[in-house]
Amino acid sequence: MIDRSQQRRALRAAIEARNAVVAPGVFDLISARLADSEGFDVLYMTGYGVSASYLGLPDAGLATYTDMQSCLQRIATICRTPLIADADTGYGGPLNVRHTVQGYERAGAAGIQIEDQTHPKRCGHTLGRTCIPVDEMVTKIRVALDSRGDPDFLVIARTDARTAYGLDEAIRRAIAYRDAGADLVFVESPETEEELAEIVRRVNCPLVANMVEGGRTPLLDRAALAALGYALVLFPATGFLAAGAILRRVYGTLKADGASAALRDELDDFDRFNRTVGFEDVWAFEQRYGN
């Protein structure tokens, strides 16, 4: 039985060290099992990935609380690694935020990310994002903090102000969210390494860096972000972009050739994949009790 409280305490300690803890994005049960086996300190359930894999839809405010909480519960059940989960805007006003925090914590998350976008929200590396007033977001943060049962359950406050309103406004909001008590602050989509460094200097609290391949922020490695002083580094898209690339190639070859022989080096070993999804437990059960 996983001790969630112990998990959260250990994760909080790692975050407070500000040494750029790496969190890969997971988006379904296969990606979660694979990432869980690699020994990361934390995983990140990405809203973009869940919306794409669970609904087949873009990250445009279409995934509901029920969609996300249901996916979170299934992923957390099979993972030994602590899991931080995207919760978009909290799915409504302050009362919705309370419901979301309590539901995510009950589902087994180690932390939650809530952003200051207006509804319907958009992926943080696309255009057209607008933000609610600062005082409304501050209220959401305070509600989130008051609603958690475990004081080590992390509340991450994200601002999407950089793209539409500029860096100074994004930093002003980040400082307000820090002062409201958020455990980590997340300035989405800074556009240069200098901006990444300036955010650390001016906000001065545990911060999140978001590394999205093909996004608006330059891609830095963990060592560089640790040197800047970031506490947590998300790689939310790496997994589903990899899955998309290999599936596109494999299905294209299968259509062209009508066979999979040329794909042998592209595919996982079948026995290893059986073990990844848990067949060893089935085999052990059947050996003990029969079919």
Helix, strand, or coil here: 148? coil
Neighbours of 176 (CB within 10 A): 19
Dist. CA 259–CA 262, nearest whole Å: 8
The domain segmentation of the chain, as residue ranges, is 4-237, 244-289
pLDDT digits (tens, 9 = 90+) for 156-192: 999 999 999 999 999 999 999 999 999 999 999 999 9
Question: Of all residues in the chain, what percent carry a pLDDT higher than 90?
Answer: 92
Q: Kindly indicate the confidence band of residue 129, based on its pLDDT and cuts at 50, 70 and 90.
A: confident
- Amino acid identity of residue 255, one-letter, is K
pLDDT digits (tens, 9 = 90+) for 40-76: 999 999 999 999 999 999 988 889 999 999 999 999 9
Task: Give helix then strand counts, H and E, for the chain.
Answer: 13, 8
Digit-coded pLDDT (tens) for 3-40: 999 999 999 999 999 999 999 999 999 999 999 999 99
Residue 124 binned pLDDT confidence (cut-offs 50, 70, 90)? low
Segment 140-152 mean pLDDT: 98
**What's the CATH fold of domain 4-237?**
TIM Barrel (3.20.20)
H or E element, residue 245: helix 238-257
* The pLDDT of residue 151 is above 70: yes
Handedness of CA 160, 164, 167, 170 (dihedral sign): negative
pLDDT of residue 83 exceeding 70: yes
